[in-house]
Amino acid sequence: MNRSTQRTNRNQSTRAGHQRQVPYDHLLPPGRIRKRTNTRRTRSAHFEKYAEEGNRIIGEIANELGIDDHRQALRITRAVLHALRDRLQPVDSIQFAQGLPMMLKAVYFDGYSLSHAPLKIRRKEDFLEFIRSKDHVSMRDFRTPGEAATCLQAVLFVLSHNMDPQQVEHIKRMLPMPIQELIDAYEDHVLLNTF
């Protein structure tokens, strides 16, 4: 059977109500004709699901901080994530981001450059000031270093309940001991108030 005969047979079978063949089906063994599917209809990007999950987590952070403004909670989360991101080695930073919920990955990587060397911040006071500097609203979300500490603690606490807790623990252990102690103090406080 030559190609023109195959094309004619294929066109006739389509007109007769049969399944249309995908190009190059004539190379397949008889009886192995693939169905053409419309991938645009069968695939879904799930953007609504990602947005819903991100909004839920931002809502949990807002509740943990005792604030009603979700935009403020998002700004706080962004400042904390960007401070962590810029403090970590690029490999560790990317590994941490892999575990973040999809919407928070976008927030985390916004404005990120692999070419910048991670900052060497060892003192907790300097790290809290660094978090405050990441607030793009003139530091109004973090009026004092104490508020920045509470926000850091709350964001990591909520993240540890919404992603693999071992990843959050791993990132905490990569930070200098004074910053680790600051984060652990919040978890101890929450545990004491639970019982």
Residue 191's pLDDT is what?
47
Q: Which CATH architecture has domain 48-194?
A: Orthogonal Bundle (1.10)
Residue 140's pLDDT is what?
77
Q: Where along the chain do its domains lie?
A: 3-42, 48-194
Q: Which residue has the higher pLDDT, 135 or 87?
A: 87
Concatenating the DSSP letter of every residue in 91-144 gives: HHHHHHHHTS-HHHHHHHHTT--TTSPPP---SHHHHHHHHHHT-TTTT-S-SS
Poorest-confidence range of 10-19, 84-93, 117-126?
10-19
- Predicted TM-score (pTM) of this structure: 0.72
Residue 115's pLDDT is what?
83
Averaged pLDDT for residues 176-186: 88
Half-sphere exposure of 129 (CA within 13 A, CB side): 7
Question: Residue 104 corresponds to which tokens in the numbers above?
Answer: 């928070």
Burial of 73 (0-12, 13-18, 19+ CB in 10 A): buried
What's the CA dihedral at 186, 164, 167, 100 to 10 degrees? -100
pLDDT tens figures, 149-169: 999 999 999 999 999 989 989
Q: Report the candidate in 15, 34, 16 with the shortest Cα–Cα distance to residue 24.
A: 34
Residue 173 phi/psi, 5-degree rounding, is: -70, -15
Give the other-Cβ count within 10 Å of 91's Cβ: 9
Whole-number Å distance between alpha carbons of 59 and 75: 12
Averaged pLDDT for residues 51-64: 94
pLDDT tens figures, 61-70: 999 999 999 9
